[in-house]
DNA sequence: GAAGATTGATCGATCAATCTTG
DNA sequence: CAAGATTGATCGATCAATCTTC
């Protein structure tokens, strides 16, 4: 036990940056904060609307683009795989919230968009969702929110510089 | 299309806070930043170690407690459901990284801990993971990291005040 | 050959129900 | 009756493979 504790207290040897331990703590805090809020929103969407976060997320992207979006574009914006979208869309078509039609100009492409029912359902959920988010962030004041927004932008840019660097 | 755009531009009417739209944007940035980093770590864990983030996450909690943890305690720390843990632990037992034994004092309780193999495997992955995180956050300087850490703590506290308030 | 989409296998996650034990 | 754990049904997510179309 003592040796394990010592190993934890000791700074890492092979890390690429001097305070990589602090970066890991920062990453864990970012992850747990997001997960805490996400779980609560997920729970409320289920309890009050009988829906899920991925469904809501997909509908929110479609609501912004009344002309419709391709599956690939949606999967890129939602940062999930292509195969994931196929099933998710399938279930939303089943429930009548989304419709799918092939593109006129490229027969490989499927365009999806909200139905009238989907739009109405989304608007009601979006109002509640917005209030929930405001409630969850209530203790964060205005300057704090602005600063957090800016720091997350910097973090995202930093991560993107790594994930987008694959050559060829 | 024009009316839909107008609806988006117009500030929400029923929101509980004056700038709840800005809070939603902040929440989406928090979520996408976390997801971006999470997806990259997930990909690297798979490619270089043939493992997954939940497995790594579970092992990291066990590595901090050589005496073992109960399933409930682990599920609380990982912020996932109890039923989820049962399956995850089952697979890690199958691969020889984790062992499970019933508690001596309370026969309802199952204690789990890393095996020697699990500990060795985890140490190697943890070194790589730490370097990856440092790389992903590389463009964030020291004061920025400190400030982000503090703002996330405030955000987490704000959200906890909501999620923990259920009476009775 | 490359891109868009779908399929199938597998894992991770939730919830609701159940079983055992305290 | 509470709490810890497991089970079963279902959804969400990934990857690898395949099919069609460009």
CA→C1' distance for B151 and C5 (Å): 42
Cα–Cα distance, A34 to A126 (Å, whole number): 19
The pLDDT tens digits for B61-108 are 999 999 999 999 999 999 999 999 999 999 999 999 999 999 999 999
Whether the predicted pLDDT of A105 surpasses 60: yes
Average pLDDT on A113-131 reads 97
Picking from B32, B127, B139, the nearest residue to A154 by CB comes out as: B139
User: Does the C-beta of A97 come within 7 A of strand D?
Assistant: no
Per-residue tokens: A122:
């989304």
Residues B100-146 have pLDDT tens digits of 999 999 999 999 999 999 999 999 999 999 999 999 999 999 999 99
CB within 8 A of B81, min separation 6: which ones?
B75
Check A29 against B153: CB less than 8 A apart. Answer: yes
Of A2-6, A72-76, B23-27, give the lowest mean pLDDT range. Answer: A2-6
**Angstrom distance (rounded) from CA A81 to CA A91:** 16
Mean pLDDT of A75-85: 97
What is the average pLDDT across A106-125?
A: 97
């Amino acid at each position: 036990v003592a040796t394990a504790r010592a190993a934890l207290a000791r700074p890492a040897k092979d890390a690429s940056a001097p305070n990589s331990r602090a970066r890991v703590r920062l990453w864990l805090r970012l992850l747990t904060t997001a997960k805490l809020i996400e779980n609560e929103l997920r729970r409320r969407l289920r309890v009050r609307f009988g829906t899920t976060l991925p469904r809501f997320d997909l509908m929110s992207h479609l609501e912004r683009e009344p002309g419709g979006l391709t599956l690939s574009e949606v999967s890129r914006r939602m940062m999930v795989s292509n195969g994931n979208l196929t099933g998710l869309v399938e279930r939303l078509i089943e429930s009548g919230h989304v419709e799918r039609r092939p593109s006129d100009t490229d027969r490989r492409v499927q365009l999806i968009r909200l139905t009238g029912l989907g739009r109405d359902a989304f608007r009601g959920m979006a109002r509640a969702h917005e209030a929930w988010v405001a409630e969850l962030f209530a203790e964060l004041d205005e300057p704090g929110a602005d600063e957090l927004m800016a720091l997350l932008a910097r973090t995202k840019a930093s991560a993107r510089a790594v994930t987008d660097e694959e050559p060829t």
